[in-house]
Amino acid sequence: MDESTQFFVSIWIKFFFLLTPFFVMSVFLSLTQDISLAERRKMSVRLTLEVIIICFILYFLGNAIFKIFGITLDAFRIGAGTLLFLSAVDLVQGKETPVVQEDSGNITIVPLAIPITVGPATTGALLVMGADVASAWEKVLGCAALFFAVLVVGILLFLSTAIERIIGRTGLKILSRLTGLVLSALAAQIVFTGIKHFLA
């Protein structure tokens, strides 16, 4: 495996777990339990497109936001990593996120896209990861990895009814907790990198 492929796979895995797909699937199934399978699949496609747009905006806005507010990348690494770690702890502990559903016919942007799929911790991590890319080629690979990560999450949502039938809600909760473990490691890496560069 060459260096570019390794970079792509590494970033893809980070983005995939950052989007907490199994937690998102659990919430998606709960909020769409009263609609037909066809409508649920249409909603999963709309949600995937919306999340792709949101993620790409955040991925490219990092440096601009840091310059506007005068925040160093390392300081944001520490803050975003800490927030991500707290979110990971919630996942590991299996805490339920309260979701207010005011309009059952329009839930893809709010709350499914924001804040369920792309919450504050995910937003911070995307800003950091986008600003952390040095070369144009790595930026291209990062964009491709982000696109495919969201696409895989979208496929899981599209097939969520069948997946739930196979592994059940208990299986989804277990996978969500495992996702939390991976996120905690990713959060620690972001924080330690920020501290290392800040002290240097």
Summarised one tens digit per residue, pLDDT across range 62-111 is: 888 888 889 899 999 999 999 999 999 999 998 766 555 555 457 899 99
Collapsing DSSP states into helix, strand and coil, what is residue 89? helix
Residue 156 has pLDDT above 80, yes or no: yes
CA separation for the pair 60, 119 (Å, rounded): 17
pLDDT tier for residue 200 given thresholds of 50, 70 and 90: confident
- For the chain, the C-alpha Rg in angstroms (whole number) is 17
pLDDT confidence of residue 133: 85
Asked whether the bond before 115 is cis by omega within 30 degrees of 0, the reply is: yes
Mean pLDDT over each residue of the chain, to the nearest integer: 92
Summarised one tens digit per residue, pLDDT across range 12-37 is: 999 999 999 999 999 999 999 989 99
* 180-188 mean pLDDT: 96
pLDDT confidence of residue 103: 52
CA separation for the pair 8, 13 (Å, rounded): 9
Q: Are 137 and 4 in contact (CB under 8 A)?
A: yes
Q: List Cα–Cα distances, 24 to 41, 48, 128, in angstroms.
A: 15, 12, 22
What is the pTM for the complete model shown? 0.93
CA 164 to chain CA centroid, Å, is: 20
